[in-house]
Amino acid sequence: MKDQSIGFVGAGRMASALARGFVKSGLVTEAAICASDPSAEARQKFSDNLPEATVVEDNGLLLQQSAIVFLAVKPQSLPHVMGGMQAEIEGDTLFVSIVAGVKLSTLSAGLGTDRIVRVMPNTPCLVGLSASGYCAGAGANENDRQRVAQLLESVGIAIPVPEGLLDAVTGLSGSGPAFVYIIIEALSDGGVRMGLPREAATRLAAQTVKGAAEMVLNTGEHPAALKDQVTSPGGTTEAGVRALEQA
């Protein structure tokens, strides 16, 4: 049914990750997902991950069958995409933009509607651990906000923020996984340098980061306080922290 269907304009990695996360959570079925993309390769990859989803080249077909439409294209492609869709947009369509850096006012002017929610998610949505910030346009009602929050919370956490802070969310949690992967890689490299097998070192490093993050989330304590609990005076952790601070 259309009122349960979700469309993705753009079938790239982020769209695929979100779609798979929504399906994995049980909130929607694969058959309720539709994606459009001019790239045959992107459409094929999306289909490979979600075989029961509908994949089309024409955005008009997607609009006809989607109650919620995620805009998941590159910022430079967005004006062309919105211009091609505007005449076919129906008044009951809720748009969700995950396009970085594009303001609600720009989206509203390009789409001809202000029933829009602007979102900055991140790729860990695929494993149910996304961190998203979102803000709603003037035409999005409370049900719209709740529905988008429900979708985002099915794949992680979702925090409403004023639009002026979404760029900060982009830099922090949108780009943040890449920064954390560098930390995990560095920890793993250190373990290998000291003789650990690569697989063991990477698993230990990743679990350490995951466990430390859960401590912050579950205890509510400041990261500095948790750091102090691990750092005994004159111990190995103290030496490592000192080296990090010096570098």
- What does the pLDDT look like over 172-184, one tens digit per residue? 999 999 999 999 9
Sign, CA dihedral 226-232-233-234, equals: negative
Quote the CA–CA distance of 225 and 85 in Å, as a whole number: 52
pLDDT of residue 197 exceeding 80: yes
Model confidence at 1, pLDDT cuts 50, 70, 90, reads: very low
pLDDT of residue 46 exceeding 90: yes
Quote the CA–CA distance of 98 and 187 in Å, as a whole number: 32
Q: What is the distance of C-alpha 44 from the center of its chain?
A: 21
- What does the pLDDT look like over 83-137, one tens digit per residue? 888 888 877 899 999 998 899 999 999 999 999 999 999 989 888 899 999 999 9
The first and second tokens of residue 114, run together, are 């202000």
Q: Are 35 and 19 in contact (CB under 8 A)?
A: yes
| DSSP for 15-52, written as a single string | HHHHHHHHHHHTSS-GGGEEEE-S-HHHHHHHHHH-TT
The whole-model pTM stands at: 0.87
Quote the CA–CA distance of 52 and 23 in Å, as a whole number: 11
Q: What share of the chain is helix, strand, coil (3-state, %, to 5)?
A: 60, 15, 25
Q: List residues bridging with 159 in a β-sheet.
A: 133
